[in-house]
Amino acid sequence: MLRWGNGGVKTDSASIFDGTIKSLSQVYQTDPDSPFKGLRYKSRLRYANRLEVIETALGDVRVLNITFRDFKRWYEEFATPDEPGGRRMTPRAYDLIVQLKLIFRFGALALPKLSGCSDVCDILDKMEFAGGWRKRKEYLTYQQALLVCEEAHRRGWHSVAQAQAFMIECGLRQKDMIGEWVPQSEPGVTDVLKGDHKWLMGARWEEIDANFIWKHRLSKSVKGQNAIMDSEAGKTEEFDLTAFPMVRAELERIAPFERCNFPASGPIIVCELTGHPWSTSEFRRRWRQCAKGAGIPDNVQNRDSRSGAATEAELSGVPREKVKRLLGHSNEETTEGYQRASREIRSEIARMRAAKRKP
């Protein structure tokens, strides 16, 4: 009664924070201005899982008492294998340290200076940690993509072939084609529902006009609270589908290549088994089966379609500025991470040098 009379239970960040890492984690997850609130659904789940590990292991540690030695010890503990003789978990350790950095940085902004978060940020800025996930070097070639499509059609999974064709030709992420299923409580408006989930971000027929110009809002540019069917929310890119032979071939499998022969609206990629858009896990499983049947190495994945498009463009002599436009990147450094033709280019240079040496 007394608490209610004084304004009820306080929920501001300063009142939640009691000096411990656990309370700081709670501030990061509940503050309305926290970047955590802007993450997409699956990213929030991933962050929340890491924060749960951190709270369990370090929740009672007081922020004001943290030194650089603590971080060194925690990193080693996080990297320790779960079983004796097991492989060191350095990527996991690195991810957890990065997650700690995120919550301390927000604490430095949202909490009073006396919280100690700013001092901890200064410590972390001076430290380096080995690990992080290995930068991928694999890419899916155009010929490999063709083989996957052929195998998918042989198995009757025509939608898998359609998604693969769009991805390798247009340089798209998987999510831009098949979308994702999220709880209906998540932000975002859609007409595709199933149980307590809804489907967002995937390719839709109404995005393709009468001339087969496809205007699609890239999933990477959409934050959690902006995941709505609104062309102004996120970066929209245009693709002339008549210019992509594999995409056209897949569409012609459905109907003659005139816009009136295709659906006016709804998801483009629909699972033959359910009549709904694919779930991410099931699509990846089916794609893997097709890839294995087509003889594609296990280390090459469907997500490597995007780097395959960038690498093929690079080997074809397309300037990086234009490849950047294809991928929808804002800067060339990001594009460079998708171009993986270094080995092929070096081999080509070696052959040219060797030819020059011949008398």
pLDDT tens-digit readout, 73-84: 999 999 998 777
Does CATH number 3.90.1150.10 belong to domain 142-346? Answer: no
In this prediction, residue 10 carries a pLDDT of 47
Domain parsing of the chain, residue ranges: 7-125, 142-346
pLDDT given for residue 162 in this prediction: 98
Task: Tell me if 53 sits within 8 A of 82, measured CB to CB.
Answer: no
**Digit-coded pLDDT (tens) for 48-65:** 999 999 999 999 999 999
Element (H, E) at 199: strand 197-200
Point out the least confidently predicted range of 10-24, 54-68, 216-230. 216-230
Nearest-CA neighbor of 70 among 94, 52, 97?
Answer: 97
Question: Quick one: average pLDDT of 139-149?
Answer: 95
**Residue 227: band (very low, low, confident or very high) from pLDDT cuts 50, 70, 90:** very low
Strand partners, 208: 214
Q: What sign results for the dihedral spanned by CA atoms 295, 296, 302, 308?
A: negative
- Per-residue pLDDT at 247 exceeds 50: yes
Residue 66 is predicted with a pLDDT of 97
**Nearest-CA neighbor of 226 among 46, 40, 47, 45?**
40
- Determine contact, residues 142/312, Cβ cutoff 8 Å: yes
Tell me which residue of 323, 328, 205 sits closest to 262, measured CA to CA.
205
Tokens 């960040």: give the residue: 13
The angle formed by the CA atoms of residues 191, 193 and 199, to the nearest 5 degrees, is 80
Say whether pLDDT at 133 is over 50: yes
pLDDT band at 7 (very low <50, low <70, confident <90, very high): very low
pLDDT per residue as tens digits for the range 318-356? 777 777 667 765 565 555 555 555 555 555 556 665 676
Q: Mean pLDDT over residues 179-204, rounded?
A: 94
Locate 31 and state its tokens.
């503050």
Q: What is the pTM of this model?
A: 0.74
pLDDT at position 343: 55
Kindly report the backbone phi and psi dihedral angles of residue 197, in degrees, each rounded to the nearest multiple of 5, phi listed first: -120, 160
* Average pLDDT of the segment spanning 96-117: 95
Is 222 a residue whose pLDDT tops 60?
no
Q: How confident is the model at residue 309 (pLDDT cuts 50, 70, 90)?
A: confident
85-113 as b/e: b if 16+ CB within 10 A: eeeebbebbbbbbebbbbbbbbbbebbee
Q: Three-class SS of residue 13?
A: helix
User: Is residue 11 predicted with pLDDT exceeding 80?
Assistant: no
Q: At what angle do helices 68-79 and 117-125 cross, to 10 degrees?
A: 70
Tokens of 291: 């890839």
